[in-house]
Chains A and B, each alone.
Chain A
């Protein structure tokens, strides 16, 4: 299957471990712990009160919902690195989110049932706000495949470029910490009362985080000399198993990985690095590790694998995009960041996990995996520029 390469020209981000892309990267490499006690909204009545909270934004904007604020911060960072050089009608925005503007819904029901607030509560509100701010008049889409949203968005963005429906796409993912999601995951007993320890034998659950990550995508032939890397392949597959828990056999994830590799025309032997979803729940990590072992097969022993949700918390819609960007930065910098929170590897997770220290390795081809609520599995195959 021949698919035209799509370039990831530049990226911008705002995260619990760094307010821009550079701070995010150095924070990852040195193993910064972005988890803290949540301060922005009441958490005293919840069992778990910790999360990857962004304490301070470079610019606080009055009147914008928090999700939009995170997006604008990431967009400012992106635009400091690359300009949107295309007619407005040819600039598209595709964003992934699990919860969109839900916090505005909380406010609408609590004290301000205005039309503006209610419209902002719709999950696709922030994407609209970002498009307006960027002056983008091309297609505007919100993708919501739960925790895989940040991957699916990149895949749909690539489709827009290949179909010639846009010349540039600002794409990525975001989500915020709010009472809604903290209550929800608390009710599922998915949150750990310890710390998030991906692939650790003592792991007991995840912690949530917030963030926004945006990349600028263009057709490879339009990208000029400078790029962070390329998106070679994307695929998704459904579990069809359970509304909240992953399929214990991980067949959906396996299907997504194999399909993404096929689309990328890349074999398992070509993979240099895997960024795992690694939420640190007992079930996710076991299923994911088993699938990766199955797919990587004889190569499993030599392919480094990491997971960064221990450092940031699970940033939901932002996660897969942040992890994709990390793959490309690892290629550029020649370093794979450690898996914060992993101290005692679970013997059942037989992977070459980059644990307590960063590893000096320069991956060219990376695989990034995501497993979302309701059985949304996604895989991205990325190629770094390596310089």
Chain B
């Protein structure tokens, strides 16, 4: 999957699972940052990240190792898309 396709899937997840507004999600790009506390981010907190992880696991068929610290992959849609692509290719 290329990053744009992954981004589209993530946008859908943001709307259907994380309750973001459609228009807001449409405005998001690969550069959009995710975590709360990061300037200009979409403000996801720990609860959102759990939901997002579960949704990613289900949608992309990958398994995330809970014991690992995956924070750096969830910094932006770009880092997340790369992570997902790498894991789906490895699988």
Contacts and interface: CB of A to CB of B under 8 A. Distances in A.
Q: Do chains A and B touch in the complex (CB under 8 A)?
A: yes
B50 A188 contact: yes
Interface residues of B, number: 7
Contacts of B50: 187-189
User: Size range of the interface on A?
Assistant: under 10
B45 A242 contact: yes
Contacts of A245: 45-47
B5 to A, nearest CB: 27
B27 interface: no
Nearest to A283: B46
Nearest to B50: A189
Nearest to A245: B46
A295 B62 CA distance: 44
Nearest to B45: A242
B66 interface: yes
A129 to B, nearest CB: 34
A189 B70 CA distance: 15
Contacts of A86: none
Contacts of A188: 47, 50
Contacts of A187: 50, 54
B51 to A, nearest CB: 8
Interface in B25-50: 45-47, 50
Contact of A244 (B47, B66, B67): B47
Contacts of A189: 50, 66
Contacts of B47: 188, 242-245
A245 B54 CA distance: 18
Interface in A170-223: 187-189, 204
A245 B67 CA distance: 19
Contacts of A244: 46-47
A95 B66 CA distance: 37
Interface string B64-90: 001100000000000000000000000
Nearest to A193: B66
Nearest to B53: A189
11 contacts: A187-B50, A188-B50, A189-B50, A189-B66, A204-B66, A242-B45, A244-B46, A244-B47, A245-B45, A245-B46, A245-B47
Interface of B: 45-47, 50, 54, 66-67
Interface of A: 187-189, 204, 242-245
Given A189-B66, A244-B47, 11 more contacts: A187-B50, A188-B47, A188-B50, A204-B66, A204-B67, A242-B46, A242-B47, A243-B47, A244-B46, A245-B45, A245-B46
